[in-house]
Chain A
């Protein structure tokens, strides 16, 4: 070979660098180029419809301003977008803003159904993190045909709620009423169950999501002041500003469920100790939850920590005459009540 190996080496490294720049997940050029193409006129209309639908659902009005903030485009652009939607018969002017026509409402319901089903799917059947479901669903909802949406609903067993607790509209456009009231409406010392996290204002929503609060979680309100609201769950304490906490919808914990408040998780059992399963964390969902139930781990089951692996994770548990190894991460999601003595 005539070329100097040092030069070849440099060329080789250069090629690798270029490939990285092109294909790096999320921030690679290929990905950026792709997401640029997603922002078409149709997706904008569909996002606008969704925004208006959500506002009507919680009885708020939609204005050019609120929509322009939501879509992050100028008010002038928003006005022309609304004009276009009006000419297509999707929206109509009302006294103090804009409202959906019947046709617009039906269209919006379709998109909302697709969006929430996708979120449910992403939450239950994939390994994506909680903060990614919404982002992916925002993209997928536009490219899913009505047939695909129905197939998805069948596959998921016609779920009723999305993973944020919002009801999923049925195929013929029926949607359940909103459940719960803002967490700010409760008082110090109350026990509440989170029913829904409102996503309309994404920056507020993402704060709640980042804390790991999900529907189904049981919380105790420790402090309620104009500055902050403090909650505690089984293991953690959360502090939210009232404006954020107002996005958290909840109902009081039903009286018969108060005994379910307990502090121990399956992973805290020492070898030889026995516990009784009380409930699953709401963060254990979809296929994972199904698997546990298949294995006979359900509320009421007695379970004994049986065997440690050399690294201490996973651990084997003895459940209904069978030894089953679970990783600590999953065992953290199973709440138990420790039993005295060995069973």
Chain B
């Protein structure tokens, strides 16, 4: 693996960044795992290809990537494994695609989740972003197709968006390989913990739901002190998600976040 990082492969010459080495599919050892989530038809596969140097077919269609694709790259001397999740509009329903994406972001425990969105349809895409931020607080928001947005006269205030969402926001045009270096830098910052995210959490649920969530969150936090996404856990249990229920019963949640066995013994940070 070591010598691979240094050899100037043909792919390297076209890299957007001198210290990016694309490792294609042969990537067994890695330092960080990245999950790539996003709505269908947002250029998610293009971003994936730009990062890994693989050439998945991309088309102007929703739902081109059907199976989960994996790849790898190396940046700043670190090895990354990247998993392209199926494109979904949401993470809350029972469809198989959403289940795969949802379970991977939580139980696959990626170091960073990159959410790709279409800049021309930010509002619709934010729906998914808000849901991902309920699950994980290590996320990077990649607003793709920014070139197209400009052509349509749409401009996006990245700084303000970053402030609202509490995670790094990178504007990219993956087809032109613009912004890929910045995206890599942000991924690396979040993965290494140099940058700590304070993700936006939902506030406006209907009162009866809010109350129910509050009630459960209180109990869940007592059982799993320090769990970063107790609200999400509560929501999933309320929706009857079997995977989540069994994760609570078996204590899988505890292992995922390294929570010590003794319940109620105070907060761990």
Query: B79 to chain A: closest CB distance in Å?
Result: 35
By a CB distance below 8 angstroms, the chain B residues around A320 are: 121, 123-124
Known: A158-B242, A320-B124, A322-B121. A294 touches B89 (CB 8 A): yes
Q: Which residue of B lies closest to A150 (CB)?
A: B242
User: Is the CB of A293 closer than 8 A to any CB of chain B?
Assistant: yes
User: Is the CB of A156 closer than 8 A to any CB of chain B?
Assistant: yes
By a CB distance below 8 angstroms, the chain A residues around B88 are: 294
Within 8 A of A (CB), among B112-135: 120-124, 127
User: Is the CB of A154 closer than 8 A to any CB of chain B?
Assistant: yes
Mask, A287-319, CB within 8 Å of B = 1, is 100100111100000000000000000000000
Mask, A133-156, CB within 8 Å of B = 1, is 000000000000000000000111
By a CB distance below 8 angstroms, the chain A residues around B240 are: 157-159
| B121 and A154 contact, CB distance less than 8 A | no
Chain A: interface size category: 10 to 19
| B127 and A290 contact, CB distance less than 8 A | no
Q: Which residue of B lies closest to A321 (CB)?
A: B121
User: Is the CB of B60 closer than 8 A to any CB of chain A?
Assistant: no
By a CB distance below 8 angstroms, the chain A residues around B176 are: none
| A296 and B120 contact, CB distance less than 8 A | no
Name the contact of B95 in the complex, choosing from A154, A158, A287, A295 (C-beta under 8 A).
A287
Cα A287 to Cα B258 in complex, Å, equals 37
By a CB distance below 8 angstroms, the chain A residues around B120 are: 321
Cα A216 to Cα B238 in complex, Å, equals 21
Query: A248 to chain B: closest CB distance in Å?
Result: 27
| B94 and A321 contact, CB distance less than 8 A | no
By a CB distance below 8 angstroms, the chain A residues around B242 are: 154, 158
| A294 and B241 contact, CB distance less than 8 A | no
Query: A304 to chain B: closest CB distance in Å?
Result: 15
| B95 and A322 contact, CB distance less than 8 A | no
Query: A117 to chain B: closest CB distance in Å?
Result: 12
Cα A321 to Cα B154 in complex, Å, equals 12
User: Is the CB of B261 closer than 8 A to any CB of chain A?
Assistant: no
Cα A250 to Cα B239 in complex, Å, equals 25
Query: B42 to chain A: closest CB distance in Å?
Result: 11
Known: A154-B242, A157-B240, A157-B241. A293 touches B93 (CB 8 A): yes
Cα A159 to Cα B242 in complex, Å, equals 12
By a CB distance below 8 angstroms, the chain B residues around A154 are: 242
Mask, B195-229, CB within 8 Å of A = 1, is 00000000000000000000000000000000000
By a CB distance below 8 angstroms, the chain B residues around A156 are: 94
Cα A273 to Cα B240 in complex, Å, equals 39
| B90 and A321 contact, CB distance less than 8 A | no
Query: A323 to chain B: closest CB distance in Å?
Result: 10
By a CB distance below 8 angstroms, the chain A residues around B123 are: 320-321
Q: Which residue of B lies closest to A158 (CB)?
A: B240
Known: A154-B242, A157-B241. A322 touches B94 (CB 8 A): no
| A321 and B95 contact, CB distance less than 8 A | no
By a CB distance below 8 angstroms, the chain B residues around A322 are: 121, 124
Within 8 A of A (CB), among B156-189: none
| A295 and B239 contact, CB distance less than 8 A | no
Could you list 13 examples of A-B contacts with CB < 8 Å?
Answer: A157-B240, A157-B241, A158-B240, A159-B240, A290-B93, A293-B90, A294-B89, A294-B93, A296-B89, A320-B121, A321-B123, A321-B124, A322-B124
Q: Which 10 A-B pairs have the closest CB atoms?
A: A158-B240, A294-B89, A154-B242, A321-B121, A320-B124, A290-B93, A157-B94, A157-B240, A296-B124, A294-B90
Q: 4 other contacts beyond A293-B90, A293-B93, with CB at 8 A cut-off?
A: A157-B239, A290-B94, A296-B89, A321-B124
Q: Which residues in B have some Cβ–Cβ distance to A below 8 Å? A: 88-90, 93-95, 120-124, 127, 239-242
